[in-house]
Amino acid sequence: MSDLGRGPGSLIVNGRTERFASVLERSAAMAERLAHEVGLQPGDCLVVALENSHEHIELVVAAWRLGLQFVAVAPTTSGPTFAGIVESVSPQAVVVDQGNERLNRVVRGWARAISCWDGRSPDSILMVGRGRPTEQHSRPPRPDSLAGDWGEWLAYQPPAVFYTSGSTSTAKGVPLLWPRILDKARVVLSFYDVKPGDRVMPILPLSHVYGLYCLMGALALGADCVTFRESASPAVLARGLLDHAATIVICPPLVGAFLFGRHGVEPAVRDRLRVLSMGGAATSVEQAQRILSALPRTRVFLSYGLAETYSTISCNEVSTPGSDLASVGPLRFGAFGEARDPTQRRRAQHLPERDRRGHQATSRRRRLWRVRRAGRTARGDVRGRGAASAVDRIRAGAGRRRATRSLPNVPGRENGTAPHPDRGGDPAWCARENRACRAARSVRARARATGAGHVIEERH
């Protein structure tokens, strides 16, 4: 891997441009500050809930330098959810925007000490809360003392944890390995033909792996990366497309429909934009048709993925003649991910050895998943309903296993029931749960019989 700090990649963050080499230099000072002022050491846990900014990126790189376990939480998370995450993770430090009053209250109630760090602009002040330091007799060395290139630091990192938004259920922490995030970024962006000189603009939060892997992949491939705050208005995003000459845009369908499908496209944007990839939600056929009409010379993809599978697992180039506008395409990048029991607070201090099949060795508490034939049609495409069904099966399976492990010694488990401990085995509640379990088993049996999709669980 080339030394990307001396490569051609630049960052354009909220309208300000700088070389990635400058970010690497400042991240060294940020790492020293975290080590000396906050007391963080390799293996400690750092929770970050920030909007897209220079400081956010510097914190990510500083965490790589120190070998911290990086826990990413969306800054839009509700106060109670954020408080629950902080309580369950038990970090050594938490960083939020000072202007985020909702999360500020949580940090003030949790932290033993608080300090405010000035950012590069008046509106980017960080609140850093310190928790109870951990006592460890031996610590691994800092990754930046073992390798000179940031890509090589990733091999010495504990798994990162990305929390889901909780929009469809409770927020869940998904542990992902940094080297595999970078590998996935390279593969997906290479498929989009990203190369040096391109400007990749992910209109996505860096607090989610879907946004962060676009940043890492662009830098790894020598391209520039353009990003704006999640709170940026559509007018700011549209102006950013024009001013910063984006050639590849990755965004949710709602944003794509607004920028490219409703009010027309600036001729300069239309002529420069080579690739538009939309994912994270369903795109209607009507929306896709409007966007294709507005961008006749652009390769347009509909994509699909999960945080658990290191984001993108499939995409469909709907701009090719004869494409099915209702499909997100075949599984192109591998639907392989991992999940860990969130009730376990043990954190890896280093990456484990690889097992005989080339997978990362894991403890008995962890599960590796493969999704095969997830809702495929005869052509091998993943259609909206089938893809959603595959997601539901994954989440339902993970939820059942977590619930089973978190309710030890509960009567009735051997019969497939799981009475809530606070309900005292209420018969009506148990009957409803039993009916739900039977229905879920029936759905899985039909899916296996028809080949509509199945999940294979592998234990290591």
pLDDT in tens, 104-129: 999 999 999 999 998 766 667 899 99
Structure tokens at 440: 């879920």
Query: What separation, in Å, do the N-terminal and C-terminal C-alpha atoms of the chain show?
Result: 30
Nearest to 334 by CA among 191, 125, 227: 191
Q: Is the pLDDT of residue 31 over 70?
A: yes
Q: Hey, which residues does 382 pair with through a beta bridge? A: 376
Long-range contacts, stretch 81-88, CB < 8 angstroms, 24+ apart: 81/166, 81/170, 81/171, 82/49, 82/106, 83/109, 83/110, 84/171, 85/47, 85/163, 85/171, 85/173, 86/47, 86/110, 88/173, 88/342, 88/343, 88/345
Q: How confident is the model at residue 201 (pLDDT cuts 50, 70, 90)?
A: very high
Q: Do domains 19-164 and 179-348+364-397 have the same CATH topology?
A: yes
Amino acid, res. 134: T
Sheet holding 299-306, edge to edge: 16-19, 10-13, 224-227, 199-202, 248-251, 275-278, 299-306, 311-317
CATH number for the domain whose boundaries are 179-348+364-397:
3.40.50.12780
Pairing state of beta strands 454-458 and 366-372?
antiparallel
Provide the pLDDT for residue 399.
Answer: 40
Average pLDDT, the chain: 76
Provide the pLDDT for residue 331.
Answer: 84
Amino acid, res. 330: P
Question: Residue ranges of the alpha helices (H) in 14-100?
Answer: 20-33, 54-66, 79-89
The radius of gyration of the chain from alpha carbons, rounded to an integer in Å, stands at 23
Structure tokens at 293: 């009409």
Sheet holding 336-340, edge to edge: 336-340, 366-372, 454-458
Least confident of 146-160, 206-220, 386-400: 386-400
Domain ranges of the chain: 19-164, 179-348+364-397
Backbone angles phi, psi at 161, to 5 degrees: -125, 125
> Strand (E) positions, 270-362?
275-278, 299-306, 311-317, 336-340
Instruction: Read off the pLDDT of each residue in 260-284 and give the average, rounded to a whole number.
Output: 88
Give Cβ neighbours of residue 392 (< 8 Å, ≥ 6 apart).
Answer: none
Decide which of 22 and 9 is more confident: 22
Helix, coil or strand: residue 459: coil
* Cβ atoms within 10 Å, residue 253: 19
pLDDT in tens, 299-316: 999 998 888 888 888 899
What b/e readout covers 150-183, taking b as 16+ CB neighbours within 10 angstroms? bbbbbebbbbbbbbbbeeeeebbbbbbbbbbbbb
Q: 304 in the Ramachandran plot: left (φ > 0), alpha (ψ -120 to 50) or beta?
A: beta
pLDDT in tens, 52-64: 999 999 999 999 9
* Cβ atoms within 10 Å, residue 435: 10
Provide the pLDDT for residue 186.
Answer: 93
Provide the pLDDT for residue 309.
Answer: 83
Q: Is the pLDDT of residue 458 over 80?
A: no
Instruction: Read off the pLDDT of each residue in 423-427 and give the average, rounded to a whole number.
Output: 50
Q: Is the pLDDT of residue 12 over 50?
A: yes
Q: How confident is the model at residue 436 (pLDDT cuts 50, 70, 90)?
A: low
pLDDT in tens, 163-184: 987 666 778 899 999 999 999 9
Structure tokens at 287: 């929306």
For residue 302, count CB atoms less than 10 angstroms from its CB and return exposed for 0-12, middle for 13-18, buried for 19 or more. Answer: buried
Provide the pLDDT for residue 238.
Answer: 92
Residue where the block lists tokens 């893809």 = 387
Provide the pLDDT for residue 424.
Answer: 44
Give Cβ neighbours of residue 394 (< 8 Å, ≥ 6 apart).
Answer: 306, 308, 369, 371, 455
Question: 19-164: which CATH number, 3.10.129.10, 3.40.50.300, 3.40.50.980, 3.30.230.80?
Answer: 3.40.50.980
Q: Is the pLDDT of residue 355 over 50?
A: no
Provide the pLDDT for residue 167.
Answer: 66
Decide: 189 and 217 in contact? Cβ < 8 Å. Answer: yes
Least confident of 18-22, 251-255, 402-406: 402-406
